[in-house]
Structure 1
Amino acid sequence: MEVEEEERRSPHDHVDRCVPESFFDRVTQGLRGDLEHERDRRLQLADAVSKHRAEFAFAQLENERALTSLCDELR
């Protein structure tokens, strides 16, 4: 029966018993903080891209109107 229990143990069982729980809590908290920071950064970048796309579209429209106006003047 002891052999069966030994076979079922994960290779990490020994490590889990040696490392204080607070270490895992700190690592988990750090990873959550990193994840939240990256999510916020992604949202900021997505907002910036949307803003710049809109500005670019308006600039393109202005250029097309200016070109049309110039072509009309030359005719």
Structure 2
Amino acid sequence: MKYELIGRNNFLNPIETILHNRGINDVERYLNASAKDVIHHSKLKNIDKAVELLISKVKRGGLKVFVQADADL
């Protein structure tokens, strides 16, 4: 299998590498975030559509809903 490594890759510090490759430059601040650093849920892209969809599924009843977060977006 062929693959290409992208971004800066420090194999001795994989957490820092993953965060840097996803655009997080201040790793310490990200890992030690305080309440003032957290983004309010209302600022998440398409959150209103996601909530409407979830509510409509719950109201229908009898349906199972699986919610998965993609933390590295």
- TM-score normalised to the size of structure 2? 0.28
Which of the two has greater helix per residue? Answer: 1
Q: Which structure has the higher relative contact order (CA within 8 Å, separation 6+)?
A: 2
